[in-house]
A and B are shown apart, each in its own frame.
Chain A
Amino acid sequence: MELVTPHIGLVFWTTISFLILLFILGKFAWKPILSAINERERFIEDALLKAEAAKEEMSRLTNENEALLKQARAERDVILHEAKKVKDQIISDAKEAAHTEGARMIEMARVEINNQKAIAMADVKNQVATLSLEIAEKVLKQQLADQQKQDELVSQLLREVKL
C-alpha cells in the first residue's frame, strides 16, 4: 500500500520541477530547435522545388533546341531540294539549248555546204565552160588546119571529156 500512495512532497516537487523544466526547455531548447528544423525543412523543400523547376526549364530548352534543329533541318532539306530542282532545270535547259543550237548549227552547216557545193558546181561549170571554150578554141584552131583532123579531134575530145 505504501508503494501506491503518492507522497505529497514528491508530488509537490515533481509538479514544480516539471513545470520549470517545461518552461526552460520550451523557451531555450524546443523553440530554437524546432524553428531551426522547420527552417531547414523549408530550405530543403525550396531547394528541391528550385531543382525541379531548373530541370523543367532545362528540358523545355532542350525541346526548344530540338524543335529548332528539326526546323532547320527541314529548311535545309527544302533548300537542297529546290537547289537540286533548279540545277536539274538548268542542266535540262542547257541541254535543250545545246541541242537546239547544235541542230541549228548542223542545219546551217548543211545549208552552207549546199551553198558551197552549188558555188563549187557553178565554178566547175564555169571552168568546164571555160575549158570547153578553150577546147573549142583549140578545136577551132585545129579545124582551121585540117578539117578531118578537126573532126576527129572534136570527137576524140568529146569522148575524152567526161563530166
Chain B
Amino acid sequence: MNKKSILNSKKIKQLLISAVFIMVAIFPAISFAQEKEHKAEEKFNPKDVILEHVGDSHSLPIFGSIVLPLPVILYTDKGLEVFSSANVREEEVGGKSEKKIYQGKYYTYTADHDKILVADAAGKIDKAASKKVWDFSITRNVASMWMGMIILIIVFIGMSSSYRKRQGKAPKGFQSLLEPVVMFVRDDVAIPNIGSKYARYIPLLLTMFFFILINNLLGLVPFFPGGFNLTGNIAVTLVLSVITLITVNVSGNKYYWKHIFAPDIPLWLYIIMVPVEIIGIISKPFALMIRLFANITAGHIIVLSLISLIFIFKSLWVSPASVVFVVFMDTIELLVAFLQAYIFTMLTALFIGMAVEEHHH
C-alpha cells in the first residue's frame, strides 16, 4: 500500500472529517478556558463576553491570547489621524483593566471598552471632543470582511479560469461544486423573480449571495480566520440593504412609480395609500437589514451562551452538555447561513422584479 492509497482510503478521510468537526466544536471551550485561567477569581460576566464577541473591536484575535493590533484611522475636525490600536489597548494588570493614553497629532486618545475616545493627558474622557471624531478604523470586522473577500476572489477567479482552460468540457473540482450554486442563484433566484431582464442584476445578486454566505460561514468557524460576527453587524446589513434599496428604486420603471404615487384607486384613498407605499419603499430593505442581523447575531449569542455555561457553573462537567448543544446549534446555524444568504438574495431579486415588471392594464 503506497502513500497515496493511504490518504485516499475512506476510513482516513472519515476520521479526518470527524476530527475537524470535534475540533470545531470544542475549540471555543478551549480558548475560553485559556483566557479565563488567569482571572479565575473574578466573577464571570457572560454578557460582557458575548457582547464583546458580537460587537466590533480594534484588535484581531489570532489564537488564544495572541492578538493582532489593527490600524486606527480617525477623522477629526483637524485632519486624519492614523495609529496602531496597540497604543490604546486596555491591558489587564492584576485583574484590573488599565487604560493606555496615546498622544496623537491633534488630540490625546484612550480606549474605553474598545471605543476610541478623546481624553486629556490625565486620561479623563472629553465627551464633547469625542463626538467630533469619526472612527474609520480597520476594525476586526473590516479585517474579517477582507479575508472573506480574498477567499471569494481567489475561489471565483480560479473558477472562471478553469472555465477558460476546460472550455466546452464538463466542470471539475471546485468548478463543479460551485457551478450548481451559481446556477441556483441564476435559475431559481434571479430568473423567476426578475424575469427576462435578469441579466443586468445577476452580478449583484451573485455577489450578494456569496458575500453573505462566506461571511456567515466564516462566522461559524470558531477560530482564525473566522469567528467574527460580520453579517450579524447592523452596519454591514445596513449597507447591503441600502444597496438593495438603491438598486430597486433606480431600476424602477414608470409602472413602479405609478403604483406608488398614482395607483388605480379612488382619490380619497390616496391619503392612506401613498404614505403607506412610500413607507413600503423603506420598510422592505429595512426588514432585510433586521432579518439578517437578527438571525446571525442570535446564532452567535446562543452558541456563546452555551459555552458560557461552563464558566457560569465553574465546572468542566458541564462541557459535554455544552458541546453537544453547541454542535446542534452549529448545525442549525450552518443551515441558517445558507438560508439567510438565500433569503436576502431572493427578496432583493423579488423587489427588483416588482420594480421592473411590465404591467399590461
Contact = CB atoms under 8 A, between A and B. Distances in A.
Interface of A: 2-15, 17-18, 20-22, 24-26, 28-34, 36-37, 39-40, 43
Interface string B139-180: 101100110010011001101100110011000000000010
A21 B207 contact: yes
Contact of B211 (A3, A21, A26, A39): A21
B339 interface: no
Interface stretch (B22-30, B231-239, B349-357): B231-239
The 3 tightest CB contacts between A and B, nearest first, are: A29-B156, A26-B203, A10-B235
B159 A29 contact: yes
A36 B159 CA distance: 11
A49 to B, nearest CB: 17
A33 B238 CA distance: 29
5 contacts: A8-B135, A9-B73, A9-B142, A34-B202, A37-B163
A3 B297 contact: yes
| Best-buried of A2, A5, A29, A43 by chain B (most CB within 10 Å) | A29
A33 B153 contact: no
Contacts of B179: 33, 37
Q: What size tier do the contact residues of chain B reach?
A: 35 or more
A56 to B, nearest CB: 26
Contacts of A6: 234-235, 238
Given A18-B240, A21-B152, A10 B233 contact: yes
Contacts of A32: 160, 163-164
Interface string B234-251: 111011100100000000
A147 to B, nearest CB: 151
A21 B149 contact: yes
B167 A36 contact: yes
B134 interface: yes
